[in-house]
Amino acid sequence: MPKGLAILTSGGDSAGMNPAVKCAVEYANQKGYQTHLVYDGLRGLIADNIVPATRDLVSGLLHRGGTLLRSSRSPEFFDIEVRRKAYENLVRRGIGNLIVIGGDGSFRALNQFHSDFGIPFAGIPATIDNDIAGTDYCLGVDTALNVIRESVDSIRDTASSFSRAFVIEVMGRHCGYLALTSALACGAEICLVPEIPYDLESIGARLKHDIANGRRYVIAVVAEGTKMGDYLTRWINDSIGMEARLTVLGHVQRGGSPTVQDRIMAYKFAVAAVDALDAGQKNSIMVFRDGSYSHLPIHQVTDSKYKLDPAIIRLASPLAC
């Protein structure tokens, strides 16, 4: 395989993608690769939006949120003829290795590409959802949690001033990691996530008891995957008798300057990805497990379902009943 290596970001953007790109370029250059940047994710692979990675292109991006390489969700990549175009673009440029920074949908797409044309790739998990099997951490999660923490702290100020309940809906797709972790970190009274059965009747009894004993406001964090934001807000208003408002945090959670943790983990994932390719791994995903970095074959990641840490579930379960 030629020593050309291209880096792309794909799927939902997350903080930490930029430092991962910078480090992957610098480390791969040290190892003798000719590095390239793919703009616009998979769409850019198809459209040949690929340029050699110069020092200028990877300078001044470490502290920036989102992804300077930009991203896309590209259903057209499911078409083999479209993938063939992407392959021809890489061959023309002498690129025989790919690093993809994104979520498991992007990894699956690259694995299909690998089965079609034999181009090895290494995946770096990056999604605020933290829902990739096999890794305890995905880039962007810490930054997103800090955005949520700051927002909930601010909402608490107004909740307390007005003696209101606030329901705060956070992202995560089908995964409750962001909701559970932020509910614990922010001292919420209620937390609903898809993974934990909830019991509104007992939540109601608990709240009424607390209100009778002086509680003046309530913070509830709900995962978007429960689709309970609207309902819970009306229910608190009507059944508990406390004026309630809903705040959907939305895409603000995807932005912001990467935290120190996301920057450092980006570096470590990037080094692991270059090393994996260098060691001849063809389709591996970098993982962080029990405090150390390694990689797993892609099928072990995409064939399994991410499971929330039982310790967090235990801690947060009282918020669902």
Chain residues binding ligand F6P by CB under 6 A are 12, 127-129, 171-173, 224, 254
Sheet (strand 218-223) strand order = 190-192, 218-223, 165-170, 244-248
Q: Which is nearer to ligand F6P, 254 or 263 (CB)?
A: 254
For residue 50, CA distances in Å to 39, 189, 290 come to: 6, 49, 36
Q: Which of 13, 40, 104, 129 is catalytic?
A: 129
Joined tokens for residue 111: 């694995």
Is 129 a known active-site residue? yes
Nearest-approach distance from CB 12 to ligand F6P, in angstroms:
3
Report the alpha-carbon distance of residue 138 to residue 179 in Å, rounded: 15
12/129 Cα distance (integer angstroms): 9
Query: What is the number of other CB atoms lying within 10 angstroms of the CB of residue 199?
Result: 11
Residue (10 or 35) nearer to ligand F6P, CB? 10
The CB-of-170 to ligand F6P minimum distance in angstroms stands at 8
Q: What is the DSSP string of 150-192?
A: HHHHHHHHHHHHHT-EEEEEE--TT--HHHHHHHHHHT-SEEE
Smallest gap from Cβ 102 to ligand F6P, in A, equals: 9
Least Å distance, CB 147 to ligand F6P, is 12
**Nearer Cβ to ligand F6P (92/227):** 227
Nearer to ligand F6P, 96 or 123 (CB): 123
Question: For residue 222, what are its two tokens?
Answer: 């709900």
The CB-of-142 to ligand F6P minimum distance in angstroms stands at 15
The 10 Å Cβ neighbour count of residue 70 is: 17
Pick the closer one to ligand F6P by CB: 10 or 281.
10
Active site residues: 129
